[in-house]
Chains A and B, each alone.
Chain A
């Protein structure tokens, strides 16, 4: 062909010649992508067994007229609770059945039962990502939030808290055959992965400048990268890490001391102190009657770590 502009005479034959490689390449790329995504949750699912979950007694006579959140939930006959959906052991959604499971979910269920709602029928779970929790509570999209929600000063300005119901700490998840990386002081020069913008990531960048910080949107991608030797460790709250370790104990383990203290609270709308106090009372009662420990044993306890003593509920939070 003489001119750069293609002449129309050869078009029909040309198109046929072009299509096959195009299709091959497209298929190759798709395969690549599928391989990349499919492996991210590859460890065999070994979550809490639905049949062995504790049953929580529902307080049918409960009433809390001073809480606007409780009043509207009671009128609708259902409670909307914000949770995490991607944290095995704490709050995880089964993609096949849509069912949620984990320690946070159990806390949500037992507190709902104490507020007079049937945990099996009257809870609507809504998965809310970390960055949107305050907005969801302020806009009233959820009644309260149970999902590895650390109580801190900045958040106290935006939302109210009940609890704490658990004290987590930042630790490291490494491959089982890892020899050198045994704690936070050996992170220099190693690739350490966490979630974009999260407190654990900011702590690594500020306090351990020698570590090579890598940040993705979700911990699932971090864990995938860890299994593929692209990063050397995943760091965040040990609760989340223990969940991943429990899912794939042949390849993953949690190491080192905790280098932070993360008191988990139940997030409530800021002005609704009555609801926060009622949740505090519910937590204390469930810790006393053993429900708290039973919930731990069938969720986080699967990682092999025995139940710690539940933390004291902090009355200063709801004052």
Chain B
């Protein structure tokens, strides 16, 4: 208990760091994921190629390698961004590949007839996707998207090795200052549980509100 009370501000900083990383990366991942899902089913071949490449590369690259590539690679080409932005980019792009595949599987549950009906009414591809297909598709994939975002929250721990303030790396400071490693980890675990259980609860509520009953 002493570990928490004596280092409350350190834990607090770490916790908010993780919350910030999770929040911004989630927003990026959701936006980029839905967009790439749209690309992957688009009628333009080039767009489909971009979508497939994005998913193939990001989903099959280890996240740590992605961090190294962005953080040590980009500055060699003159791109120097704040560390937290680097971390959000790496985490968000990585997770967007998984979101994209979840959304695409949702799109596949929407009967083809709906798309054809929209086309026959004269709707463009964008209108068909935005007004007819996606609203139905996303309702069916709320649960897998929730799981992906929980994984994102936990993956954010990798950013701690790359000069970003987040929850897991607080144990290094605490251990250096002579606190028990076990109790440091117990309180770190509690912090992650607060975050992941909140995401679970949010997605559970969304599923009850919008989920498709079968």
Would A202 and B176 be within 8 Å (CB), given that A4-B41, A228-B76 are in contact?
yes
A2 touches B115 (CB 8 A): yes
Picked from A29, A40, A134, the residue with its CB within 8 Å of the CB of B57 is A29
Interface residue ranges of A191-216 to B (CB < 8 Å): 195-199, 202, 214-216
Looking at the complex, which of B15-23, B61-69, B189-197, B205-213 is the stretch in contact with chain A?
B61-69
Looking at the complex, which of A15-23, A90-98, A113-121 is the stretch in contact with chain B?
A15-23
Q: Which residues of A contact B162 (CB under 8 A)?
A: 216
Picked from B112, B169, B178, B179, the residue with its CB within 8 Å of the CB of A196 is B169
Would A36 and B178 be within 8 Å (CB), given that A3-B115, A25-B53 are in contact?
no
Picked from B76, B115, B179, the residue with its CB within 8 Å of the CB of A35 is B76
B176 touches A130 (CB 8 A): yes
- Give A5's nearest chain B residue, CB to CB: B112
Overall SS of chain B's interface: helix
A158 to B45, alpha carbons, bound, how many Å?
A: 63
- Give B182's nearest chain A residue, CB to CB: A135
Nearest CB of chain B from residue A222's CB, rounded to whole Å: 10
Question: A293 contacts the other chain (Cβ, under 8 Å)?
Answer: no
Kindly count the residue-residue contacts between A and B in the assembled complex, taking CB atoms under 8 Å apart.
125
Picked from A6, A131, A228, the residue with its CB within 8 Å of the CB of B171 is A131
Q: Which residues of A contact B41 (CB under 8 A)?
A: 4-6
Nearest CB of chain A from residue B84's CB, rounded to whole Å: 12
Interface residue ranges of A214-247 to B (CB < 8 Å): 214-217, 221, 224-225, 228, 230
A26 touches B69 (CB 8 A): no
Overall SS of chain A's interface: helix
A123 to B102, alpha carbons, bound, how many Å?
A: 53
Nearest CB of chain B from residue A6's CB, rounded to whole Å: 6
B52 touches A18 (CB 8 A): yes
A36 to B70, alpha carbons, bound, how many Å?
A: 9
What 1/0 mask marks residues of chain A from 146 to 160 whose CB sits below 8 Å from any chain B CB? 000000111101100
Question: A37 contacts the other chain (Cβ, under 8 Å)?
Answer: yes
User: On chain B, which size bracket covers the interface?
Assistant: 35 or more
Interface residue ranges of A1-44 to B (CB < 8 Å): 1-6, 14, 17-18, 21-22, 25-26, 29, 32-33, 35-37, 40
Q: Which residues of B contact A221 (CB under 8 A)?
A: 72
Q: Which residues of A contact B129 (CB under 8 A)?
A: 4
A217 touches B161 (CB 8 A): yes
A3 to B110, alpha carbons, bound, how many Å?
A: 11
Report how many residues on chain A are interfacial, defined by Cβ distance under 8 Å: 46
Question: B49 contacts the other chain (Cβ, under 8 Å)?
Answer: yes
Q: Which residues of A contact B29 (CB under 8 A)?
A: none
A14 touches B48 (CB 8 A): yes
Interface residue ranges of B94-115 to A (CB < 8 Å): 107-108, 110, 112, 115
Question: B177 contacts the other chain (Cβ, under 8 Å)?
Answer: yes
Nearest CB of chain B from residue A263's CB, rounded to whole Å: 16
Would A197 and B175 be within 8 Å (CB), given that A2-B119, A4-B41, A4-B115 are in contact?
yes
Picked from A26, A32, A37, A158, the residue with its CB within 8 Å of the CB of B178 is A158
15 A-B pairs, CB-CB below 8 angstroms?
Answer: A2-B119, A4-B38, A4-B107, A5-B115, A18-B53, A35-B72, A37-B72, A131-B171, A131-B176, A132-B175, A134-B178, A154-B178, A197-B174, A198-B176, A214-B163
7 nearest A-B residue pairs (beta carbon): A154-B178, A197-B172, A3-B115, A36-B72, A197-B173, A32-B73, A217-B161
Given A5-B108, A131-B181, A197-B169: 13 more A-B contacts, CB < 8 Å: A3-B115, A17-B49, A18-B53, A22-B57, A33-B68, A35-B73, A130-B172, A131-B175, A132-B175, A195-B172, A197-B170, A215-B163, A225-B72
Report which A residues bind B (CB closer than 8 A).
1-6, 14, 17-18, 21-22, 25-26, 29, 32-33, 35-37, 40, 130-132, 134-135, 152-155, 157-158, 195-199, 202, 214-217, 221, 224-225, 228, 230
